[in-house]
Amino acid sequence: MKERLKFLIKVYILFITFFVVFKPIFMLKYIDIYAQTPIKEWFNIIYQGFSMDVAVTSYIISPVILFLIASIWLHGKWFKYLNLIYFGVISALVSIVVITDLLLYSYWGFRIDATPIFYLANPSDALASAKVWEVIVLVLATIGTFFVLYTPLRLFVKGSDIWSKPYKKIVSTLFMILLVGVTFIGIRGGIGTSTMNVGRAFYSTEIKYNHAAVNPIFSLLYSLTHQNDFGDYARFMNEDEADEIFNKLFTDNVYIPNDDECWLNDRKPNILLIILEGFSKGALQNNGIEVAPNLLKLSREGITFNNVYANSFRTDRGIFSVVDGFPALPTTSVMKYPDKMVTFPSLIGAIRENGYNTSFLYGGDANFTNMRSFFATGGTEEFVTDVELNVSRLESKWGANDHITFDYLKDDILQYEEDKPFLKTFLTLSSHEPFEVPFNKFENPYLNSVAYTDSCLGAFIDSIKVAEIWNNTLVVLIPDHGVNYLLGYDDRGKESHAIPMVWCGGAIKQHLEVNNFASQSDMASTLLSQLGIDYSKFKYSRNIADTTSTDFAYWTFPNGFAIADSVNFVVYDIDANNTSVFEGEDSQTRLLQGKAILQKLYDRIK
């Protein structure tokens, strides 16, 4: 029994030490973020995340205890090989997760959860954001970490007589069963009513300290095992209270402007919905220099919405918000669930029902993140993607560079001769990581990619402006999300989520600046209203032109939300159960509204 106990203790100490040491390694990797961290805070981070490290280590060691219980009664060295195989698999999985987390944090600004699993359904696209050297470093670091873990584990197994017959079988078995109970307490996080969750590591108002304390293995496991707990997530108040608050914010009123109030010359124009990949509002101008002069010029000519915010931080969530008018969720993407996805009304479908031809253009793989099925079930009739464009992935990791797709769109529009008006949805891709474009104007790779896509947009607009079809065409320009890490923005703040939305084209009556606070999910109802189409099915999308509508913007981040208007701003973290930003006289009201919205959003998909 002593040999078995010594073996377990050595394994336990190894994994605990690994997870503890990995915290300062994580902070050193992101020393630009943690450079000013006081010494005592480094120890605080280790201490606050320790119970989570214990939980993960207890998970890992539980099967080993069961192996040892079996070895008491079934002798033989095959248990040695079983342990070697198990520790090999565990070492590999732990290494992959912690190193991937180390890389992804710079892109996403949160510790690893189930989100990357969804993107790995298309591995080549999932890795397209990373530079070649980053992938090489990722592989080498993973291999190195594997050997750091597996080498001592292998020595522990080979140097222990854990598969021999114990002196007292029953006593040894009972002791090992007792250890199972102890590890269960470690997994649970104690004997209290509250079980272990990611929020245990959230102790500070500085989110960066909380992130450093989180164990990435636990973060991933917790996310994977709670993906479908939609009915239990974000329960802040009773249903009647949530309904009352929500219904005041998202009313059933349908406002269709009369001809004088309408922003359009014609209620049935051709429509180009151009979703700009990763266009942060702050990227349009940098240090007084116009990075996106063409988009800025169009904003001065058409209708510009000055206070629009992206609902989320990833393409699949942003697209869903734009097209289906449903605010993004903090823990998952609705596009992951085709059975839920098809139950939502689609902007494309609503417009198609009113006599439009519909199509979708994207220079990459439309199967990535279920995009093709999303657009197809929503009413899109024609698809033009990397396959139809016959482009080489050597030009860009994501697919066709934007000048190729913009050129295709130009030719497609100029040759359009159908009797029906069209709705063409186009998702750009060049301003996506790794921001490798055939353009060299700015040192910052993200700003350079924005400038490149903007130059393609400018050339495209100039080419169709001179054509007759321009006179009855509405161009809606809206990003899928912003980018924060290359601009130095807080991933939860206003700057990170602020995006431009511009409507232009010959169908626009006159230049107009709209200062209402709104989310990108509000575009659907607003556009349908201007087209004279009933938008009552879009219950989570507000009509920005309706002056009776409550003025606010709402967005989410992993396990939290933010809500803002011209005076108030609240950022709420669900894991920490507190507000990191609480500004304005009516901030308490806004907090309740944000909670009610989130609760109702999860009610919709449970």
Domains of the chain by residue range:
2-225, 252-548
From start to end of 330-481, where are the E strands? Answer: 357-362, 382-384, 422-427, 473-479
- Amino acid found at 252: D
Question: What is the structure's pLDDT at 119?
Answer: 64
Q: What is the chain's alpha carbon radius of gyration, rounded to the nearest angstrom?
A: 27
Alpha-carbon span 211 to 41, nearest angstrom: 13
pLDDT of residue 475: 98
Say which amino acid occupies 57. Answer: T
Structure tokens at 224: 């994977």
Residue 312, pLDDT above cutoff 70: yes
pLDDT-based confidence at residue 126 (cuts at 50, 70, 90): low
Place of tokens 């510009």: 304
| pLDDT at 173 > cutoff 90 | no
**Of 87-91, 123-127, 359-363, 546-550, the least confident:** 123-127
- CATH code for the domain defined by 252-548: 3.40.720.10
Residue 174 CB: number of other CB atoms within 10 A? 12
Residues 391-437 pLDDT 10s: 765 567 788 999 999 999 999 999 999 999 999 999 999 999 889 89
pLDDT number for residue 450: 97
DSSP type of residue 195: P
pLDDT in tens, 81-106: 888 999 999 999 999 999 999 988 88
Q: What is the dihedral of CA 316, 321, 324, 326, to 10 degrees?
A: 120
Distance CA 56, CA 151 (A): 20
- Mean pLDDT, residues 18-37: 94
Please say if the pLDDT value at position 445 is more than 70: yes
| Whole-number Cα distances in Å, 494 to 119, 159, 304, 316, 557 | 26, 57, 18, 20, 12
What is d(CA 251, CA 46) in angstroms, rounded to the nearest whole number?
A: 47
Residue 193 has pLDDT above 60, yes or no: no
User: What is the C-alpha to C-alpha distance for residues 245 and 576, in angstroms, rounded to an integer?
Assistant: 24
318 in Cβ contact with 520 (< 8 Å): yes
Q: Pick the closest to residue 526 from 317, 376, 303, 343 (CA basis).
A: 303
Closest CA to 117 of 225, 43, 12: 225
- Give the best-scoring range by mean pLDDT among 192-201, 272-281, 331-340: 272-281
Average pLDDT over residues 334-356: 91
Packing angle of the helix pair 315-324, 523-530 (nearest 10 deg): 30
Q: Alpha carbon of 516 to those of 144, 255, 268, 485: distances in Å? A: 52, 16, 25, 27
User: Which residue in 89, 101, 103, 314 sits closest to 214, CA to CA?
Assistant: 101
pTM of the model: 0.81
- Tens of pLDDT, residue by residue over 498-530, are 999 999 999 999 999 999 999 999 999 999 999
Q: 318 falls in which pLDDT band (50, 70, 90)?
A: very high
DSSP string of 453-504, one letter each residue: HHHHHHHHHHHHHTSGGGGGEEEEEEES----TTTT--TTSHHHHEEEEEEE
Residue 446 has pLDDT above 90, yes or no: yes
Task: Check whether 127 has a pLDDT greater than 80.
Answer: no
Predicted confidence (pLDDT) per residue in 57-86, tens digit: 999 999 988 888 887 777 667 778 888 999
Query: Measured at the alpha carbon of residue 35, what is the angle toward residues 30 and 38, in degrees to the nearest 5?
Result: 125
CB atoms within 10 A of CB 587: 18
pLDDT on residue 195: 75
- Tokens representing 160 are 């222990």
Residue 474 has pLDDT above 80, yes or no: yes
β-bridge mates for residue 570, sequence order: 563, 582
Averaged pLDDT, 13-29: 96
